[in-house]
Amino acid sequence: MIYQYIAPSQALKEFVRDYLIAHFNFDRNKNIPFKPYSPKPEQTITFLPKGKLTIWNPLTDETQLAPVISICGQQVSRYNFYLTSEYLMLRIHFQPGALFRLLGIPLLEFTDSWFDAESVIGREILEVNERLANCRNYGEMIAVVEDYLTIKIKKVRAGTHPLDKVASYLFSNPYQCSLDWLSKQAFLCPRQFNRKFNERMGVGPKLYSRVVRFYNAYQYKETHPKEDWLTIALRFGYTDYQHMVKDFNQFAQVNPNLWIDQDNQSPERILNLE
């Protein structure tokens, strides 16, 4: 079993931030812990060579079975993931703007959804998933995906845009810059910048910044459990604790302490894989 982030080859770093492989085996006769999933600053393609994933939205009470291969734009809602007893997943996390370049489709079409990749890319993507299911080890799985991406990227005509670098900057500095300043770095007026950002990232820059800040705050808490929430709130640019709680209520639908408790019961934590 494994739950591991893996860096891409040097040739693919322009497009790929990293890969995540998750492989779990649970006793069929015991309850399988669900995975609470809050918005993260990412745009992805996810392969499920083995097992199935059921997605429940606690706000709308809607349930769906995830496609075998999903294209996911920027998520902005909380979900719970329910896995089968054996579950094997490989997810590609793309660099800002890279999934837009690869697909040639505005990422607004994929915001907050798990979209069937076959309907967008074609049967070739199913063949990749079949090869993944027959791999003998995790290294072979990475090689299969990288071979596919190398061929796919050679056909990409759209180059990088200055906005992609701005989005990368926001990933590390989500609360330090004004919209006017960000627009100037992308050589766009604020209105054009907002439109282009939605096109390439799936959401506007303000919402993206909020997602990044929320994600950074709870990730920091998990690695610094003794740090109090007020100190963390101020560290990540919130005006006070209640300001941060508003983001947790929107993105995690629970308060900060309850979110950390739920996340600590994720499958990878129960199996001591993270």
pLDDT tens digits for 260-271? Answer: 999 999 999 988
Judge contact between 36 and 71, C-beta under 8 A.
no
Name the phi and psi angles at 186, rounded to 5: -95, 5
What CATH class does 2-158 carry? mainly beta
pLDDT in tens, 34-90: 999 999 999 999 999 999 999 999 989 999 999 999 999 999 999 999 999 999 999
Buried b (16+ CB within 10 A) or exposed e, 181-209: ebbeebebeeeebbebbbbbbbbbbebbb
Q: What is the DSSP letter of 67?
A: P
What CA–CA distance (Å, rounded) separates 96 from 98? 6
Residue 33 has pLDDT above 80, yes or no: yes
- Write out pLDDT tens, residues 200-228: 999 999 999 999 999 999 999 999 999 99
Residue 236 φ/ψ, nearest 5 degrees: -100, 20
Q: Which of 9, 166, 39, 18 is nearest to 97 (CA)?
A: 166
Other CB atoms within 10 A of residue 211 CB: 23
Q: What is the pTM assigned to this prediction? A: 0.95
pLDDT at 177: 81
- Rounded to an integer, what is the distance from CA 84 to the centroid of its chain? 21
- If one compares 111 and 29, the residue with the highest pLDDT of the two is 111
- Encode pLDDT of 162-193 as tens digits: 999 999 999 888 877 888 999 999 999 999 99
Confidence of residue 157 (pLDDT cuts 50, 70, 90): confident
- Using CA atoms, how far apart are residues 211 and 105, in angstroms rounded to an integer? 22
Which residues make Cβ contacts (< 8 Å) with residue 80, sequence separation at least 6? Answer: 34, 35, 36, 37, 55, 56, 58
* pLDDT of the residue at 28: 87
CA pair distance 136, 209, nearest whole angstrom: 40
Using a pLDDT cut of 70, give the percent of the chain over it.
Answer: 100
What's the pLDDT score for residue 87?
97
Mapped onto helix, strand or coil, the DSSP state of residue 231 is helix
pLDDT of 173: 84
